Amino acid sequence: MADYLLEMRGITKEFNGVKAIDGIDLVVRPGECVGLCGENGAGKSTLMKVLSAVYPPGSWSGTILWEGKELHARNIRDTEEAGIVIIHQELMMVPHLSVAENIFLGSEPTTRAGFVDYDAMNARASELMKQLKMPDINVALPVMAYSGGKQQLIEIAKALNKNAKLLILDEPTSALTAAETETLLTLVKEFKARGMACVYISHKLDEVAAIADTVTVIRDGTHVATRPMAELDTNEIITMMVGREMKNLFPREAHEIGEVIFAAKNVTVWDTTNTERKLVDDVSFELRRGEILGVAGLVGAGRTELASHLFGCWKGRHQGAILLDGEEVRVHAPRDAVRQGISMVPEDRKRHGIVPLMGVGHNITMSVLKRFTRRGLIDAEDEMAAIQGEIRRMRIKTAQPLLPIASLSGGNQQKAVVAKMLMPNPRVLILDEPTRGVDVGAKYEIYKLIFELAKQGVAVLMISSELPEVLGISDRVLVMGEGRLRGDFPNTGLSQEKILAAALGKQDQVAA
C-alpha cells in the first residue's frame, strides 16, 4: 500500500505555448484534507481539470499516481470510476429533475424490465439525505425547489453515491449562508473521520484553516509550498499566495462625506414566481456624496433585489421612489439608471457582467460607445485609446486589449466590468459582491479604487457577504434580514457579531 492516495508530480500544462501550470506537485494521503490555495489565475482550476481528465492525457506532462498506480483516465467517467469526484463552483444540477433524479443522473438504477426503478432510487436518496443531516428534504421534488445552499449539499450526496474516495470541492461555499457553510464543514470533517480524503479549494482561508490538515499553495502556475496547517496561520498563507506581505488588507483613505445626493424611499420588491412573497419589505435609506455605505446581511436577505430595484432591472413587481438630489427620478430600465448617473456592478459576473465573446476593450466601452462616434461611425482609434487608458488605470492583465474577455481570470474580468460601469461617470455606484471569486491582489485593487471614487465624491453602495470587507471599507453599514432593514450603524466600534446579530433580528440582546 502506497503512502499516498493521490500523487501528482511535475504537472505542466500549456495553452498555445503559454504555461498555465508549470511542474506542480499535489499529494493527498488517505483520510487527509488538503487545502489548495492560490489567487485566481494561479492554476488551481487547470490542475483540477488535469486530474479529472477534462484535459486528456497527452495534452499535459507529468505523472499522476492513484493508489500507487499510474492513473489512466481518458474522461471524467474514468476518474469517477476510480473514486475521484469533483464538485464544481457552479452547481451542476438539472433544475427540473427531482433531487433523487439528480443524484442518480447517469447511474439510474433500473428494474429487470429496463425501466428506471424509482422506488429504489428515492429510498437510497432519502437515506443519503439523512446522512447529510437533511432528513426533511423531499427527494421527489424538483431540485429547483431548494436553495442554492441545499443544492450544494445535494451535489455532495451525488458524490457520496458514487463512492468517492477523494472529494474535490472547488469554492463550495461561495453561494452558501454562514449556517450552511457550517454544515458543510462539519460534514467534510465527518467524511474525513470515515477515511475519505478531500481537496478543498477556497478563497475563504478561515474555512481552509478550519478543516485542512495540509495546505498546498500555488502561485502563477508554480508550486510554492506544501505545509501542515498546524504550522501556519491565514496571514502566512496570504503572504505565500501573493508572494508579498499584505500589510493592510483594506487601504483605508480619508475622504470627505458631503450632502445627501441619493435616497430610496419605501422600496418593496415582490418575488417573481411567488408573487405574494415580499423579498424587500419597505426599505428606505439615504446616501451621501463621497460616502461608502456597506450593505450586510445573510444570503436571501433581499439585498440583491433591492439593488435590482434601484438599477431598474427587477423583472417582477416592485415599488418605491428613487430620489437624486431630492428629486424623484424614473428608473424603469438600466439605461434610465445609467443616464441618471447610477451604475451597478452585478453580483453574477458570468451571467450579468461580461459579454463573453467580445474583447475586453469592447466590454469596457459598451455603455458609452456613442462617445466615440463621429458622423454615426465608431472611431476605432479614439475608442482604442480610451480602452488602453482604462486597462492601464485598472491594471487589467490582458495580452491584448481585444482578447475575448472570457479568457481572462476572474479578477481581471471583474476589473473590466467595474471599468465598464465607471465609464459613464456615475454619481452613485452600486457594487453587488464586488470581490466574489476575486483573488487577493485584485481585491486590494478594487478596494483602493472604491476609496479613490469616494474621494472624488461618488456615493458607493456596496453589498457584501464578507463581514471583514464590510467593516474594512464602509463608512456606514446597513444590515438587512428577511427583506427588512434591521440596522443602520455608523462604522465606529462596529463588530462582526453586532452585524450578524442584527441580520438575524437579535439586535436587542446586543444593545442591552
Partner 1 sequence: MTFSSKDLRTFLSTYKIVALLLIIAVIWTFFGVLTYDADLGGSQFLTARNFSNLLRQMAITGMLASAMVFVIVAGEIDLSVGSLLGLLGGIAAVLDVLYHWPLAGTIAVVILLGITVGTFVGWLTAYQGIPSFIVTLGGMLVFRGAVLGLTGGITVAPASEELKYIGQGYLPGFMGNGLAVALFLLLAVLAFRTRAGREKHGLPVSSIPMEIARLVAIGGVILGFVLTLNSYQGVPVPVLILLVILGVFTVIGDKTVFGRRIYAVGSNLEATRLSGVDVNLVKMMVFAMMGLMCALAGLTTTARLAAGTPSAGSGGELDAIASCFIGGTSMRGGIGTVIGALVGALIMASLDNGMSMLGVETFWQQIVKGVILVLAVWMDIVSSGNTR
> What does the block give as the cell for 491?
462604522
Burial of 493 (0-12, 13-18, 19+ CB in 10 A): exposed
Q: Provide the edge-to-edge strand list for the sheet that holds 484-490.
A: 342-345, 428-432, 459-463, 292-297, 476-481, 484-490
Nearer Cβ to partner 1, position 101 or 383?
383
- 293: phi then psi, degrees, rounded to nearest 5: -105, 115
Per residue in 231-247, is it b (16+ CB within 10 Å) or e — as a string? Answer: ebeeeebbbbbbeeeee
**Residue corresponding to grid cell 450603524:** 489
Cα 440 from Cα 100, distance rounded (Å): 38
Q: How many CB atoms lie within 10 A of CB 503?
A: 21
Cα 158 from Cα 87, distance rounded (Å): 9
Residues at the contact surface with partner 1, assessed by CB under 8 A: 16, 311, 313, 333-335, 337-339, 344, 346, 351-358, 362, 366-367, 369-370, 373, 376-382, 384-385, 388, 420-421, 424
Nearer Cβ to partner 1, position 106 or 376?
376
Cα 220 from Cα 243, distance rounded (Å): 10
Encoded amino acid at 121, one letter: M
3 state SS of 154? helix
CB of residue 461 to partner 1, shortest distance in Å: 16
Nearer Cβ to partner 1, position 31 or 334?
334
CB of residue 116 to partner 1, shortest distance in Å: 25
CB of residue 131 to partner 1, shortest distance in Å: 34
Nearer Cβ to partner 1, position 420 or 476?
420
Spatial CA neighbour of 362 closest among 385, 387, 343, 334: 387
Nearer Cβ to partner 1, position 194 or 374?
374
Does residue 270 contact residue 318 with C-beta atoms inside 8 Å?
A: yes
Cα 436 from Cα 414, distance rounded (Å): 9
CB of residue 227 to partner 1, shortest distance in Å: 39
CB of residue 384 to partner 1, shortest distance in Å: 6
3 state SS of 110? strand
CB of residue 337 to partner 1, shortest distance in Å: 7
Encoded amino acid at 423, one letter: M
CB of residue 287 to partner 1, shortest distance in Å: 20
Nearer Cβ to partner 1, position 183 or 367?
367
* Residues contacting residue 237 through CB under 8 Å, at least 6 positions apart: 37, 205, 208, 209, 215, 217
Nearer Cβ to partner 1, position 230 or 380?
380
List, in sequence order, every residue forming a beta bridge with 260; answer none if it has no partner: 288
Nearer Cβ to partner 1, position 20 or 494?
20
Nearer Cβ to partner 1, position 291 or 432?
432
CB of residue 261 to partner 1, shortest distance in Å: 19
* Residues contacting residue 179 through CB under 8 Å, at least 6 positions apart: none
Cα 208 from Cα 35, distance rounded (Å): 6
Nearer Cβ to partner 1, position 47 or 354?
354
Nearer Cβ to partner 1, position 9 or 339?
339
CB of residue 426 to partner 1, shortest distance in Å: 10
CB of residue 397 to partner 1, shortest distance in Å: 19
Does residue 32 contact residue 226 with C-beta atoms inside 8 Å?
A: no
CB of residue 417 to partner 1, shortest distance in Å: 8
Q: How many CB atoms lie within 10 A of CB 293?
A: 23
Cα 248 from Cα 462, distance rounded (Å): 20
